[in-house]
Structure 1
Amino acid sequence: MTNVFGGVDTKKYIIETTGTGIAIFDYDNDGWPDIFIVNGTTLEGFAADQAPTNHLYHNNHDGTFTDVTEKAGLVATGWGQGVCVGDYDNDGWEDLYVTYYGKNRLYHNNHGVFTETAEKAGLAGSGKAWSTGCAFVDFNRDGHLDLFVANYVDFNLSTALVPGEGTSCTWKGVPVMCGPRGLRGSKNILYENRGDGTFADVTTKAHIDRTNGHFAFSVSTLDFDDDGWPDVYVACDSVPSILYHNNRDGTFTDVAVMAGVAFN
């Protein structure tokens, strides 16, 4: 495969610079880890039969892999970003969530063949966000995996400045692509699993959006204080990172500065 993300020789906008994610998981429950690779696209686009797609590689148990993307129902083209794995419906098969600049995608695993169900599940997003990292996590310990989605910046290609326009598009007198500084950070999203295949946006209820304006990238979950409740760490670009402490009541508090993990 060829990993595509923006122009080859020139990258005019920040959307062309961030790269894509990868997941290693056993999609067919044969006991061997397989590989899923997120792919991007370009501003110029492609002919229909040449468009880049995400790829799923099946482990052949002999040190080699076979591309089973089409067979598994995972062909998709767009500004792919991150991916996370989790069995959100507790059926014993790992599912996939893929983030995009645009609509995100949830792939339900039907015994090795996937069905895209993001809209039905309430996880597609607005279609205007630039989502990056994500993680499945049972934040309320009810036995159902919830979903945390990080968002980078509010970016509109039709109004985006080009290199040299504005103070954020110049570096030491040299025109550069704009951002992330000078752009507006986007809020992160927390979805609660209702246990019926659908999710509810509890971002405000959980106080996730009380920490706003960050350029969020990667997401990790951990119980950093050993209180038995999962917390969420979000690595950010150019601004302090976020450590959401789980308050054990359905809400979170950003304690990154106090914990010493906000800056690097």
Structure 2
Amino acid sequence: MARLRSIFAFACVAALATTMPAPLVGQPPTYVDETALRWNAPAAVSTEDVEEKSYAWGDVDHDGDIDLVVARKQPWTVPGRRTNVLFLNEGGVLTDRTSTFAVDSDVPGDQGFLTPTCDRDIRLADLDGDGWLDIVTACALSDGTPKEISHPRIYRNLGSASGTWLGFRYEDARIPQLEGFAPSGFPHAPRFIEVAVGDIDADGDLDLYFTDHDLGGTQTWDFDDRLLINDGNGYFADATTTSFLGTAFFGYPFAVSWMGTAAVIADMDRDGMPDLVKQSALAAPLYTGIALNDPGTPGTFSEYAIPYTGAGYHVDVGDLNGDGWQDLVIADNGPDRYLLNQGFGSGVPTFSLESFSFVQGQDDGFSSDIVIADLDLDGFPEVLIADIDVDIPGCNRRLHLYHNQADPPNVTLLESGVQEPWKPNGVHDVAVFDVDGDAWPDLVIGTCAGTEVWIGVAPLPAFVRGDANADQNLDIADAVRILGFLFLGLAPLDCLDAADVNDDGSLDISDPLFVVARLFTGGSAIPVPNPGCGVDPTPDGLDCAIFAACP
């Protein structure tokens, strides 16, 4: 012991150090199945809901938590109208409040969400600028039905400036009658499969872009995609024919789609103007393209980029590597791909084509939806791909979760290939939001068999045992820091677990002595996590509020 004390005194002056390896990246998220605890709703619209489902989420009633709205129809590309559902988040329980807050309508006989429709997409956005989230849907396969059934529907949020919330009301006049009338007297029916929301004409309100789907029986009229411009009060006019100039792809105007299942409004060239991203699959035109908004005349498009000419069945946009440029994720009927935005080339953004990585296995092709979201809160988004073919029945493909390895400027999106229970087969859509109010993302997963709720588990804090001052070195300064905390009343330790050098669940004189013995007399190795970042394999009463050297 005397020898240890003398070495300790000498080392305090010498401050000899050994450098530790670099810390690991954020850990993949994990989830707990709380489906049985998180619903207050009939099974037919929750745990046993077998319909095709599309989700949107946001705080619709201004009570501070995130709510869920669901568009439903008969699965696959066949007619089959179903009712939609409003779930209010009530203390972490998703409660069906459709019949109370989503049945108002200005059309006689219409019951809002309880009127069966063929909606394939749903969005929440403040369309009338009153600070409350409204609802817009995209409908398909409703030929021969009145406008309120066959056209997109807008449900105005009835929240007031005083904070009173009265739910939603369907208001028919907010969407214009598109095209003329069929000989039967009923309006032609568009076949929209997705709606994108954004301020296309830069006038401070939100506009709508609908993608067209030319499958599923004989149409009375081919509508193609439609761009609807907001008048500032949440009423829309069709501006498609005046907004897109020239052709985008081998003679096809940009608004022409064969199987248009996805569109996004985002600034792809960083000129401050929102651009349009869309795909068209199955038959010509077959591509994923970008219509670049003209800053000189906002809301018009004459320049186009075609970054992908494969059979993209879905596309989404997000900054995957944190460089400020919006990247693309494309689900193909072959291998899915992502495209990193490289900035300008010949006046338009250029992209590098990248492949997803797998520990084992591969993707399944096709997709019903893509969700880009930061699941582990490390600042780099993950990618979820729901691998259902929206046209061909079958629920044997599984949900893929690609974990972003956070290695900018590169991007590695890695799928474990392990069949975790929160990656089920037959997924239509995934909602990513904080259900239980713990500030950690949760998953609501809509499958062919029902809807599941998986609660995200915040990972245990990562640290390096022995590095008490978190300077990424194991040296005598760590022993001094522990002694100062124990006996001199110095500042509290941010990570008590790191100072528990011998991993006995308590802090005492044996911990700094363990450091000294390891450094100078060949003492026992410091228990894990050491030498790299990791979590405590032996949970105890000590916590780790922050450890700057580890993510």
**Matched residue, 2:450:** 240
Q: CA deviation at 1:127?
A: 5.8
Distance 2:438 2:431 in 1: 17
Choose from 52, 65, 71 the match for 2:301: 65
Choose from 339, 357, 361 the match for 1:122: 357
**Alpha carbons 1:85, 1:135 under 8 Å: kept:** no
Give 1:59's aligned amino acid. N
Per-residue CA deviations over 1:184-234 (Å, capped at 9, x if unaligned) read 43110111111222122136386423xx233x2233321122211112333
Change in CA separation of 1:67 and 1:41 when aligned onto 2, cut-off 3 Å? farther
Distance 2:303 2:446 in 1: 31
- Structure 1 runs, 4 residues or longer, greater than 4 Å off: 2-10
Q: Say whether residues 1:139 and 2:371 are aligned partners.
A: no
Instruction: Report the number of matched residues.
Output: 201
Q: Say whether residues 1:213 and 2:448 are aligned partners.
A: no
Equivalent position SS for 2:273: coil
Change in CA separation of 1:9 and 1:21 when aligned onto 2, cut-off 3 Å? same
**Alpha carbons 1:100, 1:132 under 8 Å: kept:** no
Distance 1:187 1:205 in 2: 9
**Matched residue, 2:415:** 201
TM-score after normalising by structure 1? 0.64
Structure 1: which 5+ runs fail to align?
A: 11-16, 156-176, 251-264
Structure 2: which 5+ runs fail to align?
A: 1-210, 220-257, 461-551
Give 1:204's aligned amino acid. V
Change in CA separation of 1:133 and 1:127 when aligned onto 2, cut-off 3 Å? same
Distance 1:106 1:234 in 2: 23
Q: CA RMSD in A?
A: 3.2
Per-residue CA deviations over 1:82-135 (Å, capped at 9, x if unaligned) read 22211111111111101122211211011242324332x528x83643222112
Q: Say whether residues 1:111 and 2:318 are aligned partners.
A: no
Q: Which moved more, 1:80-89 or 1:90-99?
A: 80-89
**Matched residue, 1:24:** 265
**Alpha carbons 2:340, 2:354 under 8 Å: kept:** no
Choose from 69, 86, 89 the match for 2:321: 89
**Matched residue, 1:55:** 289
Q: Say whether residues 1:76 and 2:309 are aligned partners.
A: yes
Change in CA separation of 1:7 and 1:77 when aligned onto 2, cut-off 3 Å? farther
Distance 1:83 1:102 in 2: 14
**Alpha carbons 1:35, 1:58 under 8 Å: kept:** yes
